[in-house]
């Protein structure tokens, strides 16, 4: 397999970065994950907008344009022979001295990883359980999609390796937050609910898409502070991320839910699939 490293396509076994990279030493780095459908990166502009805003926060002097990223992706996809793929676009701060740096990072390292995916198909259900481990608060004012991933890693260890189960974080105050690798939604009546960004969750790109799509479908959308009891009382529950798309929940805390048979999640899936085709 080939990866992209600072403008070059190289074999993964040959990829190296300096041990003085502050992405390694201090977690100063960001990443975006998204899907490529038939060679086209879905919601790329939204991912780059979030990435570029995060780079400002980390004082990394680099901004990415749609054109340069599409060119880089084409090189990588062609080298690997992929047309449908998982992409991880990674930016680390670059080399610095040992110690906390105040000055801007002017030479970041850019790495892009790709894994082949099958063509998008039907929705795959999951079960959801509440985690004992609480969601940590963001390192800064808002949560970035950063290299600081210990909270997620520890949660995954608590959950185990079952691929059909997602763990749901609560905040220290007991509010529903988000999944280990997802945002959570639930529907009741004509309203769709999802935790507020005030809980410290990541503002997922698919989360944003679902909020807008729900409004276009005539649903009311309420973002707020919710308890587990609010989710249990829902008519439908689903989680989202850019790779797994929309994942209906068939069981939440032992309670059976409609899963992929839910009428609203079926409507959303249809909208999502049509949007992927438009690109």
Compute the distance between CA of residue 155 and CA of residue 181 in angstroms, rounded to an integer. 10
**pLDDT for the residue numbered 279:** 66
Structure-block tokens of residue 84 = 């449908």
In a domain, 121, yes or no: no
**pLDDT for the residue numbered 278:** 73
229, containing H or E segment? helix 228-232
If asked whether residues 186 and 208 sit together in one domain, one would say yes
If asked whether residues 109 and 145 sit together in one domain, one would say no
- The per-residue pLDDT string of the chain (279 residues; one tens digit each, 9 = 90 and over) reads 999 999 999 999 999 999 999 999 999 999 999 999 999 999 999 999 999 999 999 999 999 999 999 999 999 999 999 999 999 999 999 999 999 999 999 999 999 999 999 988 889 999 999 999 999 999 999 999 999 999 999 999 999 999 999 999 999 999 999 999 999 999 999 999 999 999 999 999 999 999 999 999 999 999 999 999 999 999 999 999 999 999 999 999 999 999 999 999 999 999 999 999 876
pTM of the predicted structure, to 2 decimals: 0.95
Which of these, 191, 166, 172, lies nearest to 246 by C-alpha position?
166
Three-state SS for 141-177 is CCCCCECCCHHHHHHHHHHCCCCCEEEEEECCCCCEE
**CATH code, 21:** 3.30.470.10
If asked whether residues 12 and 93 sit together in one domain, one would say yes
Compute the distance between CA of residue 27 and CA of residue 20 in angstroms, rounded to an integer. 12
Cβ-contact 74, 44 below 8 angstroms: no
Sign of the C-alpha dihedral computed for residues 223, 228, 229 and 234 taken in this order: positive
**pLDDT for the residue numbered 153:** 97
**pLDDT for the residue numbered 121:** 85
Domain limits at 63? Answer: 2-116
Q: How far is CA 208 from CA 153, 224, 242, in A?
A: 24, 15, 11
Q: Provide the CB-side half-sphere exposure for 2 (13 A, CA).
A: 16
B/e letters for 22-56, b = 16+ CB within 10 Å, e = fewer, are bbbbbbbbbbbbbbbbeebbbbbebbbebbbebbe
In a domain, 27, yes or no: yes
**pLDDT for the residue numbered 192:** 98
DSSP structure class, residue 134: P
Q: How far is CA 78 from CA 16, 83, 116, in A?
A: 22, 8, 12
**CATH code, 220:** 3.20.10.10
In a domain, 216, yes or no: yes
If asked whether residues 110 and 156 sit together in one domain, one would say no
Q: Token match 């679902």: residue?
A: 210
If asked whether residues 93 and 152 sit together in one domain, one would say no
Query: What total of structural domains would you count in the chain?
Result: 2
């Amino acid at each position: 397999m080939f990866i992209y490293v600072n403008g070059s396509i190289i074999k993964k076994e040959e990829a190296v970065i300096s041990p003085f990279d502050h992405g390694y030493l201090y977690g100063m780095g960001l990443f975006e994950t998204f899907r490529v459908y038939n060679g086209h990166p879905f919601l790329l502009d939204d991912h780059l907008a979030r990435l570029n805003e995060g780079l400002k926060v980390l004082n990394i002097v680099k901004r990415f344009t749609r054109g340069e990223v599409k060119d880089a992706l084409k090189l990588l996809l062609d080298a690997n022979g992929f047309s449908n793929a998982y992409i991880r676009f990674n930016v680390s701060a670059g080399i610095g001295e040992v110690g906390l740096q105040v000055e801007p990072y002017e030479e970041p390292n850019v790495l892009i990883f790709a894994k082949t995916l099958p063509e998008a198909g039907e929705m795959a259900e999951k079960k959801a359980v509440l985690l004992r481990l609480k969601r940590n608060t963001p390192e800064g004012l808002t949560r970035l999609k950063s290299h600081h991933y210990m909270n997620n890693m520890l949660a995954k260890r608590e959950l185990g390796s079952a691929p059909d189960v997602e763990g749901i974080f609560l905040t220290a105050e007991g509010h529903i937050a988000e999944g280990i690798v997802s945002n959570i939604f639930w529907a009741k009546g004509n309203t769709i609910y999802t935790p507020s960004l005030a809980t410290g969750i990541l503002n997922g790109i698919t989360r944003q898409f679902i909020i807008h799509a729900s409004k276009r479908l005539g649903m009311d959308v309420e973002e707020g502070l919710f308890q587990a009891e609010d989710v249990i009382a829902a008519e439908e529950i689903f989680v989202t991320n850019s790779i797994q798309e929309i994942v209906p929940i068939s069981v939440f805390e032992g309670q059976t839910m409609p899963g992929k048979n839910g009428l609203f999640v079926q409507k959303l899936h249809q909208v999502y699939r049509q949007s992927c085709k438009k690109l």
